[in-house]
Amino acid sequence: MLKNFVSLKYFSKKRIKGLIKLSGEVKSHPSKFRKSLEGINIGLLFEKPSLRTKASFFVAAYQLGANPLYFSPAEVRLQERESVFDVAKTISRYLNCVVLRTFSHDIILDFVKASTVPVINGLSDLLHPSQVLGDLFTLYELKRDLRKIKFVYIGDGNNVCHSLIYAFGILGGNLTIATPKNYGPSKDILKEVRDFARVSEARFDILNDPLEAAQDADILYTDVWASMGKEKEAKMRINMFKRYQVNDKLLKLAKRSCLIMHCLPAYRGKEITSSVLDSKNSIVFLQAENRLHTAKAILISLLSASC
Ligand code: CP
Ligand code: NVA
């Protein structure tokens, strides 16, 4: 059984592949898992807005027979109304699991220390592992083998980018990242995955030129230029990032079969144009749907006695 789902870096290749396989099983045979979490109470404690993460974990919980309980950003006010320690200790007395969405990643780490129930990272400023698990499952479903494709991430070196780095580091494959200077992924994370990459033979190309990166890409993945919490920088970032827009010109450089990925929400006309987001190459809504199936796989792995 898994203990927490905080970062992909704590997972072996076998564990990640197991979660992907389980996601496939719950997607194909939902009724088989209908009562697998009966009597389980799952808290969703969010400091930031959410559509996909909230809906997918909420519906996943219901469909598995569990009881989801949502706390909006205004309710608990971690560290403001009450300490992380006290909230984690209290919640552990009512609930069997918590999905946390925070600003600082340290809050998740502190919560894990105090909690006696499993904690799932539903996004922090540093990482977004449940999103990337959904993306890995989506690629697996579409029969794209990470080790045989050119996967290109263009834009901000943010939480989604970091979780992709861990995924490639553990599973292997070639990840190309193009960001503006000073907006690249964390150097600490890149250093950390070097050890994983020695085993998995992952390769990372960290560039500043989006056109060079997009050349012959099998996947073009992008995300917002200003993540939640960085809204004040949004205007300033537009100038810095405009060369990194995923548009028709960039798509022409990629392979004809190139798939477009975005975790959503998307700012149409900023990091991606509608023409690309709505193109036949786009799989963004399949990604969104697969968050539900992978949320179920995560919950079952953490909470089902049979796992
Ligand atoms: N992709 C994702 O996590 O979306 P939300 O912020 O809407 O949950
Ligand atoms: N990088 C984005 C992802 C949203 C799902 C953010 O953190 O706002």
Does residue 136 sit within a domain?
A: no
pLDDT in tens, 176-230: 999 999 999 999 999 999 999 999 999 999 999 999 999 999 999 999 999 999 9
Ligand nearest to the CA of 287: 1
> In terms of domains, do 270 and 166 share one?
yes
CATH number, domain at 74? Answer: 3.40.50.1370
Q: What is the 3-state secondary structure (H, E, C) of the chain?
A: CCCCECCHHHCCHHHHHHHHHHHHHHHHCHHHHCCCCCCCEEEEEECCCCCHHHHHHHHHHHHCCCEEEEECHHHHCECCCECHHHHHHHHHHHCCEEEEECCCHHHHHHHHHHCCCCEEECCCCCCCHHHHHHHHHHHHHCCCCHHHCEEEEECCCCHHHHHHHHHHHHHCCEEEEECCCCCCCCHHHHHHHHHHHHHHCCEEEEECCHHHHHCCCCEEEECCCCCCCCHHHHHHHHHHHHHHCECHHHHHHCCCCCEEEECCCCCECCCECHHHHCCCCECHHHHHHHHHHHHHHHHHHHHCCCC
Q: Is 130 in the pocket of ligand 1 (CB under 6 A)?
A: no
Does residue 278 sit within a domain?
A: yes
> How far away, in angstroms, is 226 Cα from ligand 2 center?
8
Domain with 294 in it: 8-128+289-303
Ligand nearest to the CA of 130: 1
Does residue 70 sit within a domain?
A: yes
Q: Among residues of the chain, what percentage have pLDDT more than 90?
A: 98
> In terms of domains, do 157 and 124 share one?
no
pLDDT in tens, 249-266: 999 999 999 999 999 999
Which residues are catalytic, by number?
101, 128, 131, 223, 263, 291
> In terms of domains, do 192 and 213 share one?
yes
Q: Is 246 in the pocket of ligand 2 (CB under 6 A)?
A: no
pLDDT in tens, 90-147: 999 999 999 999 999 999 999 999 999 999 999 999 999 999 999 999 999 999 999 9
Q: Is 159 in the pocket of ligand 2 (CB under 6 A)?
A: yes
Q: Is 263 in the pocket of ligand 1 (CB under 6 A)?
A: yes
> In terms of domains, do 278 and 294 share one?
no
Taking the complete model, does pTM exceed 0.85, yes or no? yes
> In terms of domains, do 24 and 107 share one?
yes
